[in-house]
Chain A
């Protein structure tokens, strides 16, 4: 247990404290999810595994960053049945008898990685563990992240150990529309157990990152990529109209691909567009205006060149990792002009930002938002804004701020514990709590 030892007053009451895993499910998740969870618990019992016992946990820290107000000095967070039950100063927040008490210098909300491919992309980097991009067809919105996510992937475990409790993951950059994304916890028995949003966004890429050099294949150019996407969106719009025809015999058959794009057209799903060059950023904004889409910009290495346009659009931005490789302009790198300061400049312009680990093709196989926020904080992004970009602001951008991202009563009991300033390289993450369960007690 290292740095987070200690028990509350009185004897631990594991049995009394235990709550069914399903207790953390939101009412909104519906009966289907509850049934799945129940099934998962049953399977776990049948297989001889012990279902997760949700002990009651309190965390006391010299500094509590709630992200819902100023930091609390000598604060306490009470987590009951997987949810935050109380947050306040130690003097005003009594720890109930029997609660397990974790101690740390600093506690933050469980960190949120606003865009990754971890879990679909694995650490081995061999074909069997790379499910973040389906080759062959440039537009495949029907591909679901939930069907490819491996919750026991070691990259996911690595992120968890460094305080990341929620990730927005799924199909990655590299195709005009590569597939769907999801929001999921980094800890759980199964994807169903851990998922917050099974469908979060539809992942798209514009610019050279979406093109192919294979002869005879499209898109081979930026313009062709946009054309393909416009054609498909128009097709989806017409599909919606035809599906609503009074005469059932004239309605087209169900098309999974167009069904998903219809959700994008109806703003039920944001279009997440990975884009780096300034002209491609503007292309994405143009496309969103044409089809009245809910757009989220991703990457945007050249955002400082078009700050005004991004700000005017009101679009949120998931900024490229600071440590992304710039690459060589001679190699046609899209990211040659990225900067440690992109996040700071966007935030200063009033743009809502979140940080991400992104996609890495080689060693290291993923970045870590905790380490990204540190570099951003050292390069123009205010400290609190940097923490917000991997907690509450990230939660807002990916649509789960009602569940995670801040330490507020009723939200999920997800916390990251540190023995100092979380951004300092030599500080350790000394514990991670997910839905009231100590999911990691490693010192990392």
Chain B
């Protein structure tokens, strides 16, 4: 649903589903899954100015007089899904020139008109960590995005209070990043190259510290090392693609040596080293697949990984790794984890607050709590049921997906034209023309 904000607003007004800025929306009658506390039957969710104002049982939450009422009786509302690892929008990081390229930014590559973003909205995803690929030891800077309806990548960014764009760094070990020189050909070489760069980053960091702000003493700027210093200082989390048990332990070894903050991604064989992961207090963002295999590192991938890690005390999130799994089926991954023994509560956290924690966004998203961003999905039923559909997706109080809208429905189910990149001219001229006329009346 790629539109100008004004066009989206116009459409919403015409459809009568969104109150003007400042006026609250009240979602009445749904089962609320706040994640931060047990489910609330017949709950009420109040949203104003893009934030959650209240969420609770009907007998406790007062509906403001000026609120637009949304009757969602019989539906289920949960926080917007957070996908901690995705490749929607055709992201790219480093090129073939070398295995370590932290200076490359996904920011400069993502196509916000790629249908993948609309399909993710259709799957209930409201926040996504878009990453470059795993073909490098360090392929570049990732981006944490809100799936708002926006026309530019800037319109999707998440920033901290200082205005800094939020994102991490993508790293990988194992076979994907092994190839012909200058890339490593072995696991040992992979680790050696990474260690050498972190050592260099440490020395660069030291030079900056010693300069004490004196420009004449500062080292020349080095975009790659600057990024790695951010990693060393904990300002950027490392999102580390790793499958095999021994590769996972290599990540933990590097993490211990250099002290960076890390999230383990995929961890196909995480179930073999769950206690070691737990002892390192490192979270895991996992993927669940229709079948094992597809490459030698993934033959022991198991639906039980979530359960085993949970029992070991590891923080677990689910990701799509879209296109490896489809963004419209992220809920299904959590359901498979429950099928294989993970707790229902843990699985629902793994779709929401757990990945939010991994992206340092736990204070803004991931639960239905007062003061948090109004990011939520309206579901037709139990989030873990095969028959449940995402009916609506809301980001910061604005509806970005509605299954009743034929165009949105096309992205939800597929069909002719569903994979075409969205043409701004085509889509928004149409909307503005139509709804502008309605407004004038």
Interface residues of A (CB under 8 A from B): 122-126, 154-155, 158-159, 302, 304-305, 323, 325-330, 333, 336-341, 360, 362-368, 371, 374-375, 377-379, 423-428, 444
Contacts and interface: CB of A to CB of B under 8 A. Distances in A.
B128 to A, nearest CB: 18
Contacts of A155: 291, 293
A377 B387 contact: yes
A325 B387 contact: no
B73 interface: no
B386 interface: yes
18 contacts: A122-B293, A123-B291, A125-B293, A125-B296, A154-B293, A302-B416, A329-B421, A341-B413, A363-B324, A364-B293, A364-B294, A378-B386, A378-B388, A424-B385, A425-B332, A425-B336, A426-B335, A426-B338
A176 to B, nearest CB: 26
B292 interface: yes
A304 B416 contact: yes
Contacts of A304: 415-416
Interface string B320-337: 000110100100100110
A375 B387 CA distance: 8
A126 B296 contact: yes
Contacts of A423: 386-387
Interface of B: 90, 289-296, 298-299, 303, 323-324, 326, 329, 332, 335-336, 338-339, 384-389, 413-421
Most chain A CB neighbours (cut-off 10 Å) among B303, B418, B419:
B419
Contact of B421 (A158, A323, A330): A330
Nearest to B419: A336
Nearest to B322: A325
A339 B415 contact: yes
B294 A123 contact: yes
Given A158-B292, A427-B339, A333 B419 contact: yes
A377 B291 CA distance: 20
B387 A378 contact: yes
Contacts of B298: 363
Given A323-B326, A323-B329, A340-B414, A124 B293 contact: yes
Nearest to A333: B419
Contacts of A123: 291-294, 299
A154 B339 contact: no
Contact of A337 (B332, B384, B386, B414): B414
B205 to A, nearest CB: 37
B414 A339 contact: yes
Given A363-B289, A425-B385, A426-B335, 15 more contacts: A123-B294, A125-B294, A158-B292, A304-B415, A323-B329, A325-B326, A329-B421, A363-B324, A365-B294, A366-B291, A368-B290, A377-B386, A424-B386, A426-B338, A426-B385
Instruction: Give the 6 A-B CB pairs with smallest separation, nearest first.
Output: A123-B293, A363-B294, A425-B335, A339-B414, A336-B419, A364-B289
Given A323-B329, A426-B338, A426-B339, A365 B292 contact: yes
A124 B291 contact: no
Contacts of A158: 291-292
Contacts of A305: 416
Contact of B413 (A330, A339, A363): A339
Given A326-B414, A329-B420, A371-B290, A363 B386 contact: no
Nearest to B380: A378
Given A424-B385, A426-B338, A360 B415 contact: no
A154 B292 CA distance: 9
Contacts of B338: 425-426
Contacts of A367: 290-291
A206 B158 CA distance: 46
A125 B295 contact: yes
A364 B420 CA distance: 24
A327 B332 CA distance: 21
A171 to B, nearest CB: 20
Contacts of B303: 444
A323 B336 CA distance: 15
Contacts of A375: 329, 386
Contacts of A363: 289, 293-295, 298, 324
A172 to B, nearest CB: 15
Contacts of B416: 302, 304-305, 337
Nearest to A321: B290
A366 B323 contact: no
Nearest to B340: A444
B289 A337 contact: no
Nearest to B338: A426
A337 B417 contact: yes
Q: Which of A323, A336, A338, A364 has the most CB of B within 10 A?
A: A364
Contacts of A126: 296
B266 to A, nearest CB: 9
B415 A337 contact: yes
Contacts of B414: 326, 337-341
B294 A428 contact: no
A360 B298 CA distance: 14
Contacts of B384: 425-426
Contacts of B329: 323, 375
A323 B323 CA distance: 10
Contacts of B389: 378
A337 B418 contact: yes
A423 B289 CA distance: 16
A426 B324 CA distance: 21
B18 to A, nearest CB: 28
Contact of A124 (B296, B324, B326, B386): B296
A333 B115 CA distance: 14
Contacts of A336: 418-420
Nearest to B119: A326
Contacts of B420: 329, 336
Contacts of A360: 294
B292 A364 contact: yes
Contacts of B388: 378
A364 B299 CA distance: 10
A305 B415 CA distance: 9
Contacts of B294: 123, 125, 360, 362-365
Nearest to B421: A330
Nearest to A373: B386
A129 to B, nearest CB: 9
A126 to B, nearest CB: 7
Nearest to A344: B413
A428 B386 contact: no
Contacts of A159: 291
A341 B412 CA distance: 10
A373 B27 CA distance: 33
A124 B299 contact: yes
B419 A327 contact: yes
A302 B296 CA distance: 34
Contacts of A379: 413
A329 B419 contact: yes
A328 B90 CA distance: 10
Contacts of A329: 419-421
A443 to B, nearest CB: 9
